[in-house]
Amino acid sequence: MMKASVRPIFSAVFLVAAAATLCFRIMVSGGVGGGEFLSWNYVGEAQKLTPVFNETLLRFATIDLAEDSLRQDVEQLVDGNFRNMDGSRQRSFLWSGRHRIDIRARSARGVPVLLRSPEFYRLWLDFRRYLQTWWRNRRFQSDVMSDMVNTVKILNTGVNATARKSGLKYKTCAVVGNSGILLKSDLGSLIDSHDFVIRLNNARTGGFEPNVGSKTSLSFVNSNILHLCARREGCFCHPYGEKVPIMMYMCQMIHFLDYVVCNSSHKSPLMITDPRFDILCARIVKYYSASRFVKETRKPLATWADSHDGSNFHYSSGMQAVMLAVGICEKVSIFGFGKSESAKHHYHTNQKGELHLHDYEAEYDLYQDLVERPKAIPFVSDKFMFPTVVIHR
Beta strands 48-53 and 38-43, pairing class: antiparallel
Domains of the chain: 52-65+144-252+268-392 (3.90.1480), 69-135 (no CATH)
The answer, yes or no, to whether residue 214 has pLDDT greater than 90, is: yes
pTM: 0.80
Backbone angles phi, psi at 98, to 5 degrees: -75, -15
What's the pLDDT band for 172 if we cut at 50, 70, 90? very high
| Amino acid in position 313 | F
Residues 6+ positions from 129 with CB-CB distance below 8 Å: none
What's the pLDDT band for 377 if we cut at 50, 70, 90? very high
pLDDT in tens, 303-339: 999 988 888 899 999 999 999 999 999 999 999 998 7
Q: Which of 47-51, 257-261, 342-346, 348-352 is predicted with the least confidence, judged by mean pLDDT? A: 47-51
> Cα 353 to chain center, whole Å?
19
Beta strands 48-53 and 170-176, pairing class: unpaired
The candidate with the shortest Cα–Cα distance to 181, out of 376, 43, 335, 375, is 335
Sheet containing 196-200: which strands, arranged edge to edge? 270-272, 246-249, 218-222, 196-200, 170-176, 329-335, 388-392
With left for phi above 0 and alpha for psi between -120 and 50, is residue 315 left, alpha or beta? beta
What's the pLDDT band for 194 if we cut at 50, 70, 90? very high
| 370-380-61 Cα angle (round to 5) | 95
| Amino acid in position 241 | G
Report the distance separating Cα 188 and Cα 9, nearest Å: 67
Report the distance separating Cα 355 and Cα 313, nearest Å: 10
Q: Which of 18-22, 286-290, 369-373 is predicted with the least confidence, judged by mean pLDDT? A: 18-22
